[in-house]
Structure 1
Amino acid sequence: MAADVIRSLIEAEKEVEGELAKLNIDELLSLLATVDPGGAGGARRCPLREVVQAVRPGVFRGTDARPEVPVLRPADLSERELGASGFPSAATELTRGAVLLPGDVLFAPADATGRSYRAAVWRGERGQATYSPGVLCIRPDTTRLVADYLVAWLMLPEVQQRIHTVARSSVGLQFLSPSRLLDAEMEVPSLAAQEAFTGRHAAITRERRVRQAQLAKLRRVKGILVDNLRRSMA
């Protein structure tokens, strides 16, 4: 009886994994259609500096004179979102440029090789916050660029290779030069096309979260049943 239930859970797990894979493909196809110069969005290539207000590196200066504020570090960025856990706080001196504003995009290396990166939109989740060295804050020009589209573009593998080639810093492979990053060329469709992509992306993200929750529940139940079965055979 238990073995039959476990088998059915495995099949259900495979089905949910398949649905997640389809969502990833749907999202990629939607983005590729948006960045296509021949597409309806009329994407054109231009240096990043033409569509962002600023790119600033994190500068962390501890002080006892300021109350503690959240400091976002590279580890707080998941693949396209900020981590769900609370952000570590520290007493820090905040300059005007170091304060995150809703809509800012955080960008940081995913590992020490400096060849893969993570990006996420800051939406004011914890009110006032800043970011550490190793994290770049990209502030889009909202008349030209939608933050969620920028994040999706930054996560494309070919874009990450382009950024690694153009923007890596002489300080170390895991660091990016803000000035060189501004030289990286970006495919920029119309604002309407970016907003349409963002709507599709939001729907896919909601569906992905539902599927991920289903998968976690299936794996948790399967694990409990497998453990019970092993104990019963001991």
Structure 2
Amino acid sequence: MAHDQPWRASGTTRLPLGHCCQVTAGPSGSLLDTLHDGPSGVPVIAPPDLTEHLTVDTRRIRRVPDSQAQRLARFALQAGDILLVRQGTLGRLALIGAEHTGWFYSSSCLRIRPDRTRILPEYLAAYLAHPPVQRELVAQAQSGTVPSLNSAMLNEFPVEVPPLARQQSVVDALADIDEQIEVQRMMLNRLVTLRPSVFDKLTRGE
């Protein structure tokens, strides 16, 4: 497996993820046996809540009672954490925002907490979501009835780490592209909505 060593003369290094992040597996199922669908309590993010856009869909989020929060304190999330699915839809991930601070995560996820002096959370999320990296990550999964990843595997998983300034340039460029994608998506949705009314008007000779 990878070791601390120069990867490219440009300053990028290839490190085991555990050298620049803390990886923590989710709580055991017994600690989440009071999950419920009600509006009160602390939200718990599960694999179905992670979207393909690296965000969290909160519409069907489940919760644990406030009285149980203390025993789950070490699994609390903070802005910049990355959640990665370790069972089920392997490799799906989300970047945790400030609005999710203090929430918990399920036993089917791993929490990655980047060392910001070495790697930016936004860069790492984009890196781990990159298709070739996703394929390499999923290939590491333990075989079995339900393929899975664990924290030991993830700690050894190699990550390309450019200098922080270059990481920020990557993040900014991808943000610009994502903004353009959203603009184009909105235009497409508008045209799809407009199409039936144009058809009606044209067939009526208006």
Structure 2 CA distance for partners of 1:190 and 1:73, relative to 1, 3 Å: same
Structure 2 unpaired stretches of 5+: 1-6
Aligned-residue offset at 1:39: 7.3
Mapped to 1, the partners of 2:9 and 2:51 lie a distance apart of 30
Deviation string 1:72-116 (CA, Å, 9 cap, x unpaired) is 12122112322455351322533222111000011126965x4xx
Deviation string 1:33-60 (CA, Å, 9 cap, x unpaired) is xxxx5474x2111111111023323545
Aligned-residue offset at 1:207: 2.0
Aligned match for 2:180, one of 202, 207, 229: 207
What's the RMSD between the two structures over aligned residues? Answer: 2.8
Aligned-residue offset at 1:225: 4.5
Structure 1 stretches of 4+ moved >6 Å? none
Name the SS of the counterpart of 2:173 in structure 1. helix
| Mapping for residues 58-69 of structure 1, pairs under 5 Å | 58-59=27-28, 61-63=32-34, 68-69=41-42
Aligned-residue offset at 1:216: 1.3
Structure 2 CA distance for partners of 1:225 and 1:118, relative to 1, 3 Å: farther
| Mapping for residues 31-70 of structure 1, pairs under 5 Å | 37-38=7-8, 40=10, 42-59=11-28, 61-63=32-34, 68-70=41-43
Q: Which residue of 2 aligns with 1:221?
A: 194
Question: Are 1:107 and 2:84 matched, yes or no?
Answer: yes
Question: Are 1:152 and 2:126 matched, yes or no?
Answer: yes
Structure 2 CA distance for partners of 1:222 and 1:177, relative to 1, 3 Å: same
Aligned match for 1:139, one of 88, 113, 122: 113
Q: Percent identity among equivalent residues?
A: 27
Structure 1 unpaired stretches of 5+: 1-36
State the aligned residue count.
188
More helix by share: 1
> Contact conserved, 1:167 with 1:181, CA < 8 A, in 2?
no
| Mapping for residues 80-95 of structure 1, pairs under 5 Å | 80-92=53-65, 93-94=68-69, 95=72
Mapped to 2, the partners of 1:184 and 1:52 lie a distance apart of 11
Question: Are 1:198 and 2:179 matched, yes or no?
Answer: no
Deviation string 1:193-222 (CA, Å, 9 cap, x unpaired) is 111111122222222222211111111222
> Contact conserved, 2:25 with 2:150, CA < 8 A, in 1?
no
Q: Which residue of 2 aligns with 1:14?
A: none
Q: Which residue of 2 aligns with 1:34?
A: none
Deviation string 1:152-210 (CA, Å, 9 cap, x unpaired) is 1111222122212224365721x211111111111111111111111122222222222
Aligned match for 2:96, one of 114, 119, 122: 122
| Mapping for residues 3-18 of structure 1, pairs under 5 Å | none
Structure 2 CA distance for partners of 1:172 and 1:179, relative to 1, 3 Å: same
Aligned match for 2:44, one of 71, 74, 78: 71
Structure 2 CA distance for partners of 1:212 and 1:121, relative to 1, 3 Å: same
User: TM-score, normalised on structure 1?
Assistant: 0.69
Aligned-residue offset at 1:146: 0.6
Name the SS of the counterpart of 1:164 in structure 2. helix
Mapped to 2, the partners of 1:47 and 1:138 lie a distance apart of 13
Shifted more, 194-203 versus 127-136: the winner is 127-136
